[in-house]
Amino acid sequence: MQPADRLRNLPPYVFARLGKRIRKLQAEGRDIIRLDIGAPDMPPADFIIEALNHSAWDPKKHSYAGYVGTPALRKATADYYARRFDVEIDPDTEVLPLIGSKEGIANMALAYLDPGDLALVPDPGYPTYTMGARLAGAEPYPMPLLPENDFLPDMDAIPNDIADRARLMWISYPNNPTGAIAPTEFFEKAVQFARKHDIMLCHDVPYADVTFDGYKAPSLLQVPGSKEVAVEFNSLSKSYNMAGWRVGMIVGNPQAVQALLQVKSNIDSGIFLPIQDAAVAALTGDQSWLAKRNAIYQERRDMIVATIAEIGLEARKPKATLYVWPHVPEGYTSEDLADEWLLDLGVSVTPGSAFGKYGEGYIRISVGQDTERIREALERLRGWKPKKR
């Protein structure tokens, strides 16, 4: 008995594969410092954990949660968008909570793509944009993110016949993996492009509140008329240190929200109610702790950027996200360098090629590790000398 044909073109998830390799090295007694995965290393604020604990003791909170999220969570999401972005959201028709934004991204492909359809995806980009399209039997079409264009896709370079075939277009700023940010003018152009070609525009914005140097990330939905053609995926994983809790949301175009709900209601049964209550606390409670958390990330970012410059690698200093995106040295592929650092130094980073063809020539280094462990990793890197030229 054979698995479905669709799995033949669906490789194992890159971090699942890397995690298996690291566990093997650790079982051999190796001390591996993981700077590869973009997971917050610190817990959420105490009041969020207390909200979870309080709710979990309620015997009425252990039944099925429903498909559309609690009214309180939908309202908290709408209130967050009003407070944070000055965007008005209808909590009844323009919000749908997700079991983490990753599942929503994958299921969005099932909602909008049929076999033979096309999705425009950033390259390099979060792998789920591409894998969701493939699971739906559709074709992912890469939009190169190049340094000469500040890691923004060049929509003018997309052939008209490709744009007219596309049903979905994915963008994400602040950007994973490059750390790039986008100006308002880019979002305005993306909305115009989506309207012209009848495309559902999807903006993935999990790093909107992980920002540095005074930068304040915008929402695509701030563009007038954007909700006619666009949705935004957001998550509490990175913004509120709740990666393992699995809670996010889709916000925007009500038809798209309804289409995703139709898929999800046939697949899952909603988010555990105490987690929804904790998400409400996160979105509506004291936000001052986020600035303190971001200051810690900024210190780590500065340490990494300074050290990789010492050993001859170049990288822009990102204003947001958990990532530094340096060039690899001449003579190396991204996998060469990642393998060498892992095996020789015990420092794990992600090869840029894991995020697509145009990620080759880069590595991604995460700040989501204890500060002292990052110091130790950087000390190991200071002793590294390139083997290839």
Is the per-residue pLDDT at 272 higher than 80? yes
Q: Where do the domains of the chain lie, and which CATH numbers do they carry? A: 5-44+288-382 (3.90.1150.10), 63-284 (3.40.640.10)
Cα gap 108→97, rounded to integer Å: 13
Is the per-residue pLDDT at 156 higher than 80? yes
* pLDDT tens-place string over residues 41-53: 999 999 999 999 9
Which of 15-19, 197-201, 343-347 is predicted with the least confidence, judged by mean pLDDT?
15-19
pTM of the model: 0.94
Classify the C-alpha dihedral 149-151-152-158 as positive or negative.
positive
* pLDDT tens-place string over residues 201-217: 999 999 999 999 999 99
* pLDDT tens-place string over residues 310-332: 999 999 999 999 999 999 999 99
* pLDDT tens-place string over residues 328-352: 999 999 999 999 999 999 999 999 9
* pLDDT tens-place string over residues 242-253: 999 999 999 999
Question: Dihedrals φ, ψ of 305, to 5°?
Answer: -60, -40
Is the per-residue pLDDT at 11 higher than 90? no
Confidence of residue 388 (pLDDT cuts 50, 70, 90): low
Cα gap 97→104, rounded to integer Å: 9
